[in-house]
Structure 1
Amino acid sequence: MRVDFYQLSRDPAEAALPLIARNVMKVGERLLVVSADPKQRQRLCQALWSLGEDTFLANGMAGEGHEDRQPILLSEAPQPLNGANFLAIADGQWREGETPFVRTFFLFDDSTIQHARDTWRMLRGREGVEHYHWKQEGGRWIQAA
């Protein structure tokens, strides 16, 4: 299992997540995006549909039907109804599904940084978990030491 911690400083999750999702789609995987905030899920949905002028990332909301068809599913719970192996946690609140995801993208900001630190320490003690910390620098994501 791999967990990538993304420290949001300049951009909100709505700006970072479409780039992550695009890379997930490029490798032929499905993505589950989790946030407890329904307004944030709606903003994320819009951001995915409007990635660029000629590009969009098809997605749907859990509870609206056809979840199993969605390449990207937005939900409040870590239940991969779309068969996703990849999880993106957009609201900075760590949660896990019953079955571990192959890869998790954990997005957090200044308001959730302490929770992210606690999560990092908790995962550090688990066998078989790789974790990486990414931060924004000059508009790019770099791996933090």
Structure 2
Amino acid sequence: MTDVLFYHLDRQPLDRVLPKLLQLTLERGWRAVVQAGSAERLEALDTLLWTFEDESFLPHGTAADGHEAEQPVFLATDDVNPNRATVRFLVDRAAPPADAAGYDRLVLLFDGNDPDALADARTHWKTLKAAGHAVTYWQQNEQGRWVKKA
């Protein structure tokens, strides 16, 4: 059974939330794959992870960089796992992988202001829950803390 976390982004954009979640992932010694919905988003994330903080960066790579198996965070637009990640982040309406059970954790981040993204998240919730995965829903409160809502 895979833990599936749905993060409803309505107070902060993906560019502020994803780097922090990836930092926590790496601090725990886990590897991650981030699957974006488009090549344009992948390129933007690649730049973001190098520059999101003045004092640090998140070590990561893409297929274009090579050395896929060595990357702590691998960015992709398709359903690959070359770095043997145990955590998969899905952004920009990327669909969960067919082998969801092959991960310890899936993290779906969706834009709460986009009706299509909300509809996709609801569909993925139903499908993953029916498959027996442990699904949880997280939303930020007014103080910016993530609160488990379901």
Unaligned 5+ segments in structure 1 are none
| Higher normalized helix content (fraction of residues) | 2
Amino acid at match of 2:84: G
The DSSP-based 3-state class of the residue aligned with 2:126 is helix
TM-score, with length taken from structure 1: 0.90
1:41-80 paired onto structure 2 within 5 Å: 41-80=42-81
Percent identity for Structure 1 against Structure 2: 28
Instruction: Report SS of the residue matched to 1:60.
Output: coil
| Cα pair 2:60 2:71 within 8 Å, conserved | yes
TM value normalised by structure 2: 0.88
How far residue 97 of structure 1 moved from its aligned partner, in angstroms, is 4.7
Which is further off, 33-42 or 65-74?
33-42
Question: 1:141 and 2:142 equivalent?
Answer: no
The 8 Å contact of residues 15 and 47 in structure 1, kept in 2 or not, is answered as no
Q: Which amino acid counterpart does residue 5 of structure 2 have in structure 1?
A: D
Say if 2:140 is the partner of 1:104: no
Size of the aligned set, in residue pairs, is: 144
Instruction: Work out the CA distance in 1 between the residues paired with 2:50 and 2:149.
Output: 30
- 2:127 corresponds to which residue? 122
Gaps of 5+ in 2: none
Letter in 1 for 2:105: R
Aligned to 1:10: 11
Partner Cα separation in structure 1 for residue 94 and residue 8 of structure 2: 13
Query: What's the C-alpha RMSD, in Å, of the aligned pairs?
Result: 1.6
3-state secondary structure, aligned to 2:102: coil
**Does residue 81 of structure 1 match 2:82?**
yes
Is the partner of 1:104 in helix, strand or coil? Answer: strand
Could you tell me how far apart the structure 2 residues matched to 1:133 and 1:72 are?
A: 23
